[in-house]
Chains A and B, each alone.
Chain A
Amino acid sequence: MVSMETAIPEREVARLSARADVRLALAAGERDGLVVHAAGRDAGAADAAAALFASVYRRARAAAAAHDYGTPQLLRLQSPDGEVLAAGSGELVFVLVAERGANLGRLRLDLLAAAGASA
């Protein structure tokens, strides 16, 4: 039996990973960096992505607090090889790994919607 608590993040991860320009979508515990749900053609890298990018997101939260900027809503890590977007939702952080040249405006909206749905 799947509880409502886990169904929503799982549904949102599945929705995010369905886009062609998304290599990997996942929900992870922000504090522990462990995967809750993951999907996408690079799902084999989910454990690493969850641990590494949840940590970056935690650092971003500390940076926002240090600057008195409130809660971070979205983080983007930009690389020549792709982009990573992350958005917190309660104790979870949603992470997207997107192809280079992906429609980032669309992905940003989708990710924020996923985080909002799971809050």
Chain B
Amino acid sequence: MMSDARTIPVIPESIFDGERGSGCLIANSGEVVARTGGLPDGGGWVEAMTAIRRDADRAARHFGFSAWDAVVIECENGVIGVAPAPVTAQGAGALAVAACPAGSPPGYVRRVLRRLVSLAGTGLNGGGE
């Protein structure tokens, strides 16, 4: 489920420290509530991200981890980072997703994710109504 792109708050590109990248926050409902960069618009991509969250939740719970902080996936053509985000009063920010160029260091991806998670916690301003 996607909100009208004109009303989705825009995440500041400064979270990427001048590098290329895209990111978004996905609510528990599956709605993209904030974004930046050229993420796919198809619902299948969001479902893939939320499926990672569900699986990571399940794996941590049943393997005895107290929680999980992030999943980073290094691929041939890019790096995807996923992190659980706090739920705001609007119900937003259940999942933070970052997509970075291939070869991006894991530490950099984690830093971008932390910034996204922080944005989810403090709310977003600008970019839309």
Contacts and interface: CB of A to CB of B under 8 A. Distances in A.
Q: Do A and B interact directly, with beta carbons closer than 8 Å?
A: yes
A70 B59 CA distance: 24
Interface size class of A (residues with CB under 8 A): 20 to 34
B99 A76 contact: no
A41 B73 CA distance: 26
A78 B56 CA distance: 10
A99 to B, nearest CB: 13
Interface in B56-79: 56, 58-60, 62-78
Interface in A62-104: 62-82, 84, 97, 104
Contacts, number: 114
Contacts of B110: 78
Contacts of A67: 39-40, 45, 48, 75, 78, 80, 99
A78 B73 contact: no
Given A59-B51, A79-B67, A79-B68, A64 B62 contact: no
Interface of A: 45, 48-49, 52-53, 55-56, 59-60, 62-82, 84, 97, 104
Interface of B: 39-40, 42, 44-45, 48-49, 51-52, 55-56, 58-60, 62-78, 80, 82, 99, 106, 110
